[in-house]
Amino acid sequence: MRYLLLAIALWVNPIFAQKNIKLDRSEAKEAYEYLNKIRSNPEKYRRALQISNIKQVTRTKLVWNKDLAKVAEYRAYDMANRNYFDHTNPEGIGPNYYIQKAGYDLNKDWLKRRSNNNFESIAANHASGVDAIEAFIIGHGSPGKMHRKHLLGMDQWNGSLKDVGIGFARVPRGSTYKTYICVIIAKHDW
């Protein structure tokens, strides 16, 4: 009887199941390299990624930042571990808070609400980091294609951001999604 109750508890509430979450840094690096390829030569990817306003793409190469990567990894892992998908965690804390804690001196207005997000794009259930980057840029389900603007630096704000960190988490079981990706693009010099 005890084993039956444990099996039912694990089936009904997967948070009790061992999730065995893995941070996949090779997927994160591949996503980073692919994103920089697109930024440096958007004409090559125009048709496949449905980029009609090619002239707005910032050609500036993003620079990998280990502090932002740690924040992105933490965010992807936390979503996988606690089975949520949102820019704010269950306590209402958003990415700006974690970016500030990682050593970025952000504008105080961006920290007034703990839930603020000026720098993060997230996705779930993509087989690879490259697949996620493509989905962000194509923008299905993203009002105003905000992820595309963010990742490709397609406006003055996003075009000024130079540092990037990406976290990619795989979850074999116990979570709504099998993968979570977090892309944070920011800069130090405000």
Q: pTM for this one?
A: 0.88
The answer to whether the beta carbons of residues 31 and 184 sit under 8 Å apart is no
pLDDT category at 2 given cuts 50, 70, 90 is: very low
The model's pLDDT over 65-113, given as tens digits with 9 standing for 90+, comes to 999 999 999 999 999 999 999 999 999 999 999 999 999 999 999 999 9
**Region 156-163: what's the mean pLDDT?**
96
The whole-number pLDDT of residue 139 equals 85
The model's pLDDT over 13-42, given as tens digits with 9 standing for 90+, comes to 444 446 899 999 999 999 999 999 999 999
SS3 127: coil
The whole-number pLDDT of residue 190 equals 73
* CA gap 28, 25 in Å, rounded: 5
* CA gap 82, 20 in Å, rounded: 12
The answer to whether the beta carbons of residues 79 and 124 sit under 8 Å apart is yes
Among 159, 136, 149, residue whose Cα is nearest residue 61: 159
Task: Report whether pLDDT(7) > 70.
Answer: no
